[in-house]
Structure 1
Amino acid sequence: MFRHEMNIFYKIFSGLLLLIYWLFVSKTALKILKKTRYIIFIILWLLFIYMIPILGIVAYFAFSQSYFGKKRTKRARKMYPYINQWITDIKCYPHIFSNNYSDIASPLFKLCENRQGINGIIGNKIQIINNFTDIIQSIIQDIQHANHNIEMIFYIWKPGGRVDEIAKSLIAASQRGIYCRIMLDSVGSISFFRSCWPVIMRQAGIEVVEVLKLSIRSFFFRRIDLRQHRKMILVDNYIAYTGSMNLVDPKLFKHNIGIGQWVDIMVRIEGPISTLMSFVYSCDWEIETGKRILAPSLGNNMVIASCEKELIIQLIGSGLNFPEDMIHQSLLTIIYSARKQLVITTPYFIPSNDIIYAICAAAMRGVNVIIILPLYNDSIFVKWASRVFFSELLEAGVKIYQYEKGFLHTKTIIVDEQLSILGTINIDMRSLWINLEIALVIDNTVFSKQLAKIQQDYISCSQQLDIHLWYKRRWWKYIIEQFFYFFGPLL
């Protein structure tokens, strides 16, 4: 009798568990259908949660949603009036704005103006630096000459080598009364936070913040692979650096994985665009810490740095204080604007369907489309998944070059040697919709030609992918490519 009752209880309990489980699976599936816009992502996630149910559901809630958590979202919403007022104030300086764009740049700058509320900015000096030693020396020199404040934000800070010289310069600056603030991504800069440098810096008066720190709680309340991917250095709200380089010494960083030294570029800027970048930093700081940095002073920093008015710069990015889907829309706009040539340099290439179609359409309408990728990659997932697109690109007439002298980490786009995008944005899902990114849009022939020379140097150190040899690759490589592409929503 007792055994019979236990069997009945077990069946009822098992049935309830099964019912709860399938209700949870159904609720997750409905959430995917409701919140995911791209059909390929819907199919992949539904397959994942039904083929590997428990793991699939956990993966979806951990990796599929780009939310920042309630605390950060609430802080960002409170900042909206503050941001709108700052934009209104900056418009009181009409001499720094221009809407006299080139024909190629006009669609993208109009998009930025309508969505971000600010026209293109003139009166800036900008310098490309593509040598690590020169970058470090320039940064240290600006730190040493700082008068008021220094801010930094990076995805990776890896102690060691010449990077330690920057740390020492910051400490010296703080000790002479300069306000120094550093924000570093928790995952990317894990070796930094495990080193002695955070303690030494804080003791010297530098504010060091670990951004998007991982914890058990964060797993349930925000997307855990959301990363702070911006790379910026700001000095006195007037000098700024951005580009692809993390604070790592390429002679030491990931030296044991056999991909060679990382190849990056940065730009140094003087002028009003630096003040706009400083404001982006202050917003990031408040969202992360809850503390407000006073808005960058407009009066002194709105002085025109150069009489060159043909160099027009705009800022695009992602995050709670940027318009949704801004990066994706900007990339599509710049690709469709191409008339003669489109050159893309990116270390990670897993584009959306919209972007791959736009690139192929450009090539098929006669645009000379060139994509420069690293032959060796630090991510095995990206290395294989990106190859899924090669056949379609080659058939459309796109030229694909694979850089052989190290890991090409530069992220640039040039259209018709007139319009350039340079910053932290990769052509992959993470940059399009997940990570916090920043990039400069530059409408200027002289600058674009300087950048084009660097891209040409990359091409000279690359091998072009031959379509006939590509189709002769082994069958098992095709299977591996498709397998890794299956994880595209996570890349």
Structure 2
Amino acid sequence: MTTFYTVLSWLLVLGYWLLIAGVTLRVLMIRRSVPSAMAWLLVIYILPLVGIVAYLLFGELHLGKRRAERAKEMWPSTATWLGELKNCQSIFATHISPVSEPLFQLCAHRHGVPAVRGNHLQLLTTSESTIKSLIHDIELAEHSIEMVFYIWQSGGQVDNVAEALMAAARRGVHCRVMLDSAGSMHFFRTPYPELMKSAGIELVEALKVNVLRVFLRRMDLRQHRKIAIIDNNIAYTGSMNMVDPRFFKQGAGVGQWIDLMARIQGPAATMLGLIYACDWEIETGKRQLPQAPDTSMLPFEEEDGHTVQVIASGPGFPEEMIHQALLTAVYSARKRLIMTTPYLVPSDDLLHAICTAAQRGVDVNIIVPKKNDSLMVGWASRSFFSELLEAGVKIHQFGGGLLHTKSVLVDDQLSLVGTVNLDIRSLWLNFEVTVTVDDRTFAEDLACVQEDYIARSTRLNPEEWATRPMWNRIIERLFYFFSPLL
């Protein structure tokens, strides 16, 4: 009997170490950054079994077999649609500013379509103005309304959007809504999903969280886009979830969320519609590509005005597209660079690019919230402050609520507005979207918004930061270690 238990224990030990060796080999074989690989290896070796399970759950980008097949199957028809779109020569920009040219060339080569002109853009700086404008456009919709949001939370002004959407569906407008399963978990427990479906709205719960399938698809892969498209001609995108900030996460102690949305009218709305069509097909298997934009009427006729390129990322889309776009934008800066983000956990390459910009004389400003709703991300962000400050980057801590705006302004000419946080999840994991705008007037509007944020912020003093307590530094370094996994 003793011999049996001895052999069994040795077999268990051998099996465990074979499992460790197998997972280690898998970590090393998959192409990833060295810090990320080292972080995972340390987690696996320091936390027996728990580290292995964590890696199997969150270590690799599993879209799931069915969705992966759909993503692969949709590209031939998408490529054909883009090829036909190129016949509409009047919508494509013929002049790009020098500061925007590298980024727009990257997007044109990787996405397969050049930037489009003839758009009219408007920045919406409050949830109230965004919802009011959106409801107005919904009420005027004639053919279709398409929406995708990470979070939809009932209450306050959001219920007015739901009512307007249901009224549109009842009068014959084709309405489709796609909401992330985890982000909109509370919404799916309210009466509204059934009410919407009864009104004729196609409602889809994207990337359902299913405990039984945790090892078949990465459960923390999220649909993080925020897009609304009306009649294939008007679109909204930016950082705002479909929530009323007066009622959203009031117990978190960070104040109301501050967001920025762009209302777009013109061919760029059709490009956002194509992204929506791809997401819809990946999730449902149903193909419904948008119609080509109406080139007979462009909202903004000036040749150089409101030139837009739409960037999409996530499984099924060009790899590292958002990361490459941000790097290109930062390296294009010659005079001024302003970035706003709620979560600052950049990759080594992006951190190096930002610091290099400051060191070559660019006026670099980063605006982050003073209080963050994520404890881990808050501490991890602080671990990057020293290196940024030493390079000459100005860090502003916004005190008027949780600054949720994601924006980049380069040399008062090139603007990026969208859903992308400066963290690993947004750069390499989630479904994200960003609109890049080559237009000085739009850039001036964005600069006014960012300068208002700075006026409501406290600039971090490098000397004071250098004297922070030792226990702060220890916690920062601890969470810095986990930054590749956040």
TM-score normalised over the length of structure 1: 0.97
1:84-103 counterparts in 2 under 5 A?
84-103=79-98
Question: Is the aligned partner of 1:238 residue 2:233?
Answer: yes
Partners of 1:96 and 1:302 within 8 A in 2: no
What residue number does 1:297 align with?
291
Alignment partner for residue 195 of structure 1, among 173, 190, 196? 190
Distance 2:390 2:75 in 1: 47
Give the counterpart of 2:58 among 63, 76, 79: 63
Q: Which amino acid aligns with 2:162?
A: A
User: Which of 75, 78, 86 is the equivalent residue of 1:83?
Assistant: 78
Q: Distance in 2 between matches of 1:121 and 1:11?
A: 71
> Could you list the per-position Cα deviations for residues 389-420 of structure 1 after superposition, in whole angstroms to 9, with x for gaps in the alignment?
10111011000000001110000000000001
State yes or no: 1:217 paired with 2:212.
yes
Indicate conservation of the 8 Å contact 2:267/2:293, yes or no: no
Quick check: 1:12 aligned with 2:4?
no
Match of 2:443 in 1: 448
What CA distance in whole angstroms lies between the structure 1 residues aligned with 2:293 and 2:32? 44
Report the Cα offset of residue 162 of structure 1. Answer: 0.6
Corresponding letter in the other structure for 1:260: G
Structure 1 position 34 matched with structure 2 position 29: yes
User: Could you tell me how far apart the structure 2 residues matched to 1:143 and 1:43 are?
Assistant: 49
The yes-or-no answer on 1:353 pairing with 2:348 is yes
Give matches, 1:290-439, under 5 Å: 290-293=285-288, 295-298=289-292, 300=294, 303-310=297-304, 311-439=306-434
Amino acid at match of 1:126: L
- Name the SS for the 2:318 alignment partner: coil
**1:277 — aligned with what?**
272
State the AA in 1 paired with 2:44: I
SS in 1 for 2:473: helix
Distance 2:140 2:406 in 1: 29
CA shift for structure 1 position 369: 0.3
2:162 to 163, 167, 173: 167
- Superposition RMSD on alpha carbons, in Å? 1.1
Distance 1:409 1:308 in 2: 32
Say whether the 8 Å CA contact 1:93–1:302 is kept in structure 2.
no
Does residue 461 (structure 1) correspond to residue 456 (structure 2)? The answer is yes
Does residue 207 in structure 1 map to residue 207 in structure 2?
Answer: no
The whole-number CA distance in structure 2 between the counterparts of 1:288 and 1:301 is: 31
Aligned match of 1:287 in 279, 282, 287? 282
| Counterpart Cα distance in 2 of 1:149 and 1:35 | 42
User: In the TM superposition, what is the alpha-carbon distance from 1:224 to its structure 2 partner?
Assistant: 1.0
From 243, 246, 252, give the equivalent of 1:257.
252
> Are 2:149 and 2:225, in contact at CA under 8 Å, matched by a contact in 1?
yes
TM-superposed deviation, 1:257: 1.6
Percentage of pairs with the same residue: 50
Q: Which stretch shifts more, 451-460 or 250-259? A: 250-259
8 Å CA contact retained: 1:412, 1:420: yes
In the alignment, which residue of structure 2 is the partner of 1:158? 153
Query: Given residue 223 of structure 1, which amino acid in structure 2 is its aligned partner?
Result: R
Q: Verify the 8 A CA contact 2:223 2:432 in the aligned structure 1.
A: yes
Q: Aligned pair in 2 of structure 1 residues 299, 442: CA closer, same or farther (>3 Å)?
A: closer
Alignment gaps of 5+ in structure 1: 1-5
Cα deviation, residue 36, structure 1: 4.0
Q: CA deviation at 1:96?
A: 0.6
CA separation in 2, counterparts of 1:415 and 1:168? 39
SS of match in other structure, 2:384: helix
Distance 1:302 1:430 in 2: 40
C-alpha offsets along residues 306-362 of structure 1, whole Å, 9 cap, x if unaligned?
A: 212212100112123421110111110000000000000000000000011010000
Distance 1:301 1:251, change over 3 A: farther
CA contact (8 A) 1:360 1:398 kept: yes
Deviation at 1:37, TM superposition (A): 2.0
Does the Cα contact within 8 Å between 1:325 and 1:433 map onto a contact in 2? yes
Look up the SS of the partner of 2:148 in the other structure: strand
Structure-2 separation of matches of 1:36 and 1:210:
31
Q: Tell whether 2:472 aligns with 1:477.
A: yes
Instruction: Judge conservation of contact 2:68–2:316 (CA < 8 Å) in 1.
Output: no
Per-residue Cα deviation, 1:434-455 (whole angstroms, up to 9, x for no partner): 1100010111111001100000
Name the count of aligned residue pairs.
485
